[in-house]
């Protein structure tokens, strides 16, 4: 289990830290409306992981029980998709940019709900989980539903810790990014290495 869990946690942490619309939304909420609002937004986004984990857990678990070949095809699809994501990152501008324009103060419940909906209704999240999680099952012939939920729980915990920290340190993080333009390049190539590494790991 640890042989699968350690690389899973490492890759998950790096990918969660990497720039994206969710983490920047949390940071901007923390900057504009305060740490509490940013943290609640992070909680909403993280809670949506439960839904995406459930969709992947029950859907893929049925396939695993019925066919080893189909399970291999899913992992192959996952590896190809992760390589595609690496290519998409490679083509992007490494410069980090964000804006607080148009961000208005909302109630804590509204922010939680919006974060939750943003995560659940984003098909890219479900597809990413479908590509990412199956490669880290440590016992494909065992209870895969429980294994998926364990992976999902760890991913959710990491998201809360990292997004929550971003919310609490929003001002300092934004100032650092403004001063260190090269950080975008480092994060860009870090994402590429992780995506390619996970794709290779899945197929081994």
Q: CA-to-CA distance for 67 and 78, rounded, in angstroms?
A: 17
The token pair at 164 is 């929550």
pLDDT digits (tens), the chain, 204 positions: 888 899 999 999 988 888 777 888 888 888 877 889 989 999 999 999 999 999 899 988 888 777 878 888 888 888 898 898 889 888 877 665 555 555 556 788 988 998 899 888 877 788 889 889 998 999 988 899 999 999 999 999 999 999 999 998 887 877 776 677 677 777 678 778 878 887 888 777
The token pair at 194 is 């992780």
Show the DSSP H helices in 121-182 as ranges: 123-132, 144-168, 170-179
User: What integer pLDDT is reported at residue 97 of this predicted model?
Assistant: 55
> Among all chains, which residue has been given the structure tokens 């939680």?
112
Tell if the pTM clears 0.85, that is, is over it.
no
- Under a CB-based contact definition with an 8 Å cutoff, are residues 46 and 159 in contact? yes
CB-based burial, 25-54: b 16+ in 10 Å, e otherwise = bbbbbbbbbebebbbbbbbbbbbbbbbbbe
- Domain map of the chain by residue range? 1-95+107-203
Instruction: Count Cα neighbours of 55 within 13 Å in the Cβ-side half-sphere.
Output: 16
């Amino acid at each position: 289990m640890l042989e699968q869990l350690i690389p899973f946690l490492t890759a998950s942490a790096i990918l969660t830290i990497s720039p994206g619309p969710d983490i920047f939304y949390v940071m901007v909420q923390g900057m504009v409306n305060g740490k509490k609002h940013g943290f609640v937004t992070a909680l909403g986004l993280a809670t949506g992981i439960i839904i995406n984990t459930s969709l992947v857990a029950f859907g893929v678990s049925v396939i695993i029980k019925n066919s080893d070949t189909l399970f291999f095809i899913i992992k192959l699809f996952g590896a190809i998709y992760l390589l595609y994501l690496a290519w998409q990152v490679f083509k992007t501008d490494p410069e980090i940019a964000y804006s607080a324009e148009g961000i208005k103060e909302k109630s804590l419940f509204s922010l939680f709900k919006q974060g939750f909906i943003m995560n659940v209704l984003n098909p890219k999240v479900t597809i990413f989980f479908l590509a990412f999680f199956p490669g880290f099952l440590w016992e494909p012939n065992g209870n895969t539903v429980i294994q998926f939920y364990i992976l999902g729980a760890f991913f959710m915990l990491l998201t809360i810790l990292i997004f929550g920290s971003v919310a609490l340190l929003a001002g300092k993080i934004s100032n650092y990014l403004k001063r260190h333009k090269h950080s975008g390049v480092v994060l860009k190539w870090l994402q590429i290495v992780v995506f390619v590494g996970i794709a290779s790991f899945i197929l081994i």
